[in-house]
Amino acid sequence: MHDRPFRSALYIPGSKERALDKARGLPVDVILFDLEDAVAPEAKGDARQTLAGCLAEGGYGARLRVVRMNGLDTPWGADDAKAIAAMDCDAVLLPKVNGAADVDALATMIPDKPIWAMIETPRGVLNAAEIAAHPRMAGFVLGTNDLAKDLNSRSRAALMTALQMSVLAAKAAGIVVLDGVYNAFKDEEGLEAECAEGRDMGFDGKTLIHPAQVAICNATFGPTDAEIDLATRQIEAFEATADGVVVVDGKIVENLHILTAKATLAKAAAIAALEA
């Protein structure tokens, strides 16, 4: 069980100082500072310096600070790794991870930060279990746009096997797993539906491309008042019964339900602390 929430993870371009400053006040759980897709090739070097300066300045509070680098097979990857090793961030996100060997290569360059992996290729999905089991691996981020491109798929339904395999691998290894982005950032109803689907599949949260998506994501991936109330009553009823069957709202409550209930209350407390 993770000791902090990962409901919302917003991509912020590492090259845009104004956006980096605005991120300090956004109610997100994770900031994905992007040096890859959101930065033009000619701006890569300046983006590293801009991002390093903003991180050194601080002000991001309890938000988890994850930096997405360029792949080590690109002209910018090695320089990104060197720069990120010295940045004041919580983790590094490696794109297009195909296997544990990719994680090994980065681990030698950044020895003291947790590594997250973008799972966004067919090979990465097929090797998700070995990637998740790597001792330096701390989280998965699904790159659903790239995955859809490689699979030549035109619907979310076509990605279900890949999504479920990634969730299974992450849960087996006890690491974080975040769902991919929802591109239609003005479609609140569609976003809410996809967030609910991801939550029910077991994702810890969702990656976002626009601040307007944060509120829906936080609400969907956070425990509701009704869930908190039920968890509280389940625990109280279970603890008050020394022996015998415990029933709450007409349903039998077993030890496994109490574990879930305690996790719900712990998540609610962590969210409250983060938002304080």
Q: What is the pLDDT of residues 33-70, one digit of tens each?
A: 999 999 999 999 999 999 999 999 999 999 999 999 99
253 φ, ψ to 5°? Answer: -115, 120
Quick one: pLDDT at residue 273? 86
Average pLDDT of span 199-226: 97
The whole-number pLDDT of residue 161 equals 97
Q: What is the pTM of this model?
A: 0.94
Task: Please state the rounded mean pLDDT for residues 154-175.
Answer: 97
Overall size of the chain counted in residues = 276
Q: Which domains does the chain have, with CATH numbers?
A: 8-221 (3.20.20.60), 225-275 (no CATH)
pLDDT in tens, 243-261: 768 999 999 999 899 999 9
Rounded-to-integer distance, Cα 222 and Cα 41, Å: 37
Count the neighbouring beta carbons within 10 Å of the beta carbon of residue 40: 10
DSSP states of 57-104 as a string?
H---TTSEEEEE---TTSTTHHHHHHHHHHSS-SEEEESS--SHHHHH
pLDDT at 1: 47
Percent of the chain with pLDDT over 70: 99
Beta strand spans in the chain (E): 8-13, 30-34, 64-68, 91-94, 115-119, 137-142, 176-179, 205-208, 247-248, 251-252
Which amino acid, residue 128? Answer: A
Residue pLDDT, tens place only, 68-98: 999 999 999 999 999 999 999 999 999 999 9
How far apart CA 104 and CA 81 sit, in angstroms, is: 13
pLDDT score recorded for residue 41: 97
| Calpha distance 127→153 (Å, rounded) | 20
